[in-house]
Amino acid sequence: MRRIVFAILSTITTVVLLFSYHTSTNAAGAGAGASPVAQVPATPAAPVSPGSGSQSRSSTKSGSTTGTSSPANYTGAAANTQWGTVQVRITVQSGKITSSQAVQYPQGTSRDTQINSTALPILNQEAVQQQSASIDTVSGATVTSGGYLQSLQSAIDQAHL
């Protein structure tokens, strides 16, 4: 009798676990031509000098770090995450991060768009407020937050902050 009860309870538990398992809805592998990563063009307000690679500075910036220094942009290394690539660009002026922006992020599905439209503004704001990559991840966007922090740290390292 105990074996029968144990077998029935085990079966019920297994069925419940199987039905509660959430599968991935990532459409990245759906087609060879479909890219789940959006690339956002750089803002025209930031001066960019040609041939500067992943970091760009205005050609008038002097070697000093006075309060009148020109803004400089630094693009972090692209961080490959489970859902796609995340890349961050920061603008630094007078030794401080004045803006942070994700220039590449997953946007292949409506769920990606929903998550990132909420998470990225929060991450951008926190990076400027904290002046470092020591910021909290956004709940519900853990993977994107991890990639963001990785790329942000790379940009901060380039800026020598």
Mind listing the pLDDT tens digit for each residue in 42-88? 443 333 333 334 443 333 333 344 455 799 999 999 999 998 999 99
pTM above 0.75, yes or no: no
Q: How far is CA 99 from CA 85, 103, 140, in A?
A: 20, 12, 23
Average pLDDT, whole number, for the chain?
Answer: 78
Axis crossing angle, helix 142-159 with helix 110-130, rounded to the nearest 10: 40
* CATH code at 36-60+68-159: 3.90.1010.20
Q: Answer yes or no: are the C-beta atoms of 88 and 78 closer than 8 Å.
A: no
How far is 46 from 52, CA to CA, in rounded Å? Answer: 14
